[in-house]
Amino acid sequence: MTKTPLRIIISGGGTGGHIFPAVAIANELRRRLPDTEILFVGANGRMEMTRVPDAGYKIVGLDITGLQRRLTPHNLLFPVRVFRSVRKAGKLIEEFRPDAVVGVGGYASAPVLLAATSRAIPSLIQEQNSYAGLVNKLLARRVNRICVAYDGMEKFFPANKLVVTGNPVRAEIAGGIRAEALAFFGLNPDKKTLLVVGGSLGARTLNLATVAALQRLREAGVQLLWQTGKLYFPEAQKQAEAHKGDHLYALEFIKRMDLAYAAADVVISRAGALSVSELCLTGKASILVPSPNVAEDHQTKNALALVSKGAAVLITDEHAQARLYDEALRLLHDPERQQQLSTRVRELARPNATDLIVDELLKLIKK
At a CB cut-off of 8 Å and minimum separation 6, what does 344 contact?
309, 310, 311
Tell me: is residue 277 an annotated ligand-binding position: yes
Burial 11-36 (b: 16+ CB within 10 A, else e): bbbbbbbbbbbbbbbbbbbbeebeeb
Domain boundaries, the chain: 7-167+351-366, 172-346
CATH level 2 (architecture), domain 7-167+351-366: 3-Layer(aba) Sandwich (3.40)
* 171-224 tens-digit pLDDT: 789 999 999 999 999 999 999 999 999 876 678 999 999 999 999 999 999 999
Sequence-ordered strand ranges (E) for the chain: 7-11, 37-43, 58-62, 100-103, 123-127, 145-148, 162-164, 192-197, 222-227, 248-251, 266-269, 285-288, 313-314
Tell me: is residue 275 an annotated ligand-binding position: yes
Q: CA dist 364 to 100, 146, 177, 191, Å?
A: 8, 12, 37, 50
Q: Give yes or no on whether 7-167+351-366 and 172-346 have one common fold.
A: yes
Task: Give the CA count within 13 Å in the CB-facing half-sphere of 242.
Answer: 11
Contact of 37 with 8, CB cutoff 8 Å: yes
Estimate the share of the chain in helix, then strand, then coil, as percent rounded to the nearest 5: 50, 15, 35
Tell me: is residue 15 an annotated ligand-binding position: yes
How far apart CA 318 and CA 321 sit, in angstroms, is 7
Say what the pLDDT of residue 102 is: 98
Tell me: is residue 30 an annotated ligand-binding position: no
Tell me: is residue 173 an annotated ligand-binding position: no
How far apart CA 77 and CA 81 sit, in angstroms, is 6
Say what the pLDDT of residue 69 is: 45
At a CB cut-off of 8 Å and minimum separation 6, what does 215 contact?
243
Say what the pLDDT of residue 91 is: 96
Say what the pLDDT of residue 298 is: 87
Say what the pLDDT of residue 75 is: 44
Tell me: is residue 123 an annotated ligand-binding position: no
Say what the pLDDT of residue 68 is: 44
- Residue count (the chain): 367
**Which residue stretches of the chain have pLDDT < 50?**
1-2, 67-69, 71, 74-77
Tell me: is residue 129 an annotated ligand-binding position: yes
**Sign for the pseudo-dihedral over CA of 173, 179, 180, 184:** positive
Tell me: is residue 272 an annotated ligand-binding position: no
Contact of 33 with 99, CB cutoff 8 Å: no
Tell me: is residue 342 an annotated ligand-binding position: no
How far apart CA 92 and CA 360 sit, in angstroms, is 24
Whole-structure pTM value: 0.86
Contact of 201 with 230, CB cutoff 8 Å: yes
Q: What is the CATH number of domain 172-346?
A: 3.40.50.2000
Say what the pLDDT of residue 67 is: 45
Tell me: is residue 16 an annotated ligand-binding position: yes
Tell me: is residue 291 an annotated ligand-binding position: no
Contact of 167 with 279, CB cutoff 8 Å: no
Tell me: is residue 145 an annotated ligand-binding position: no
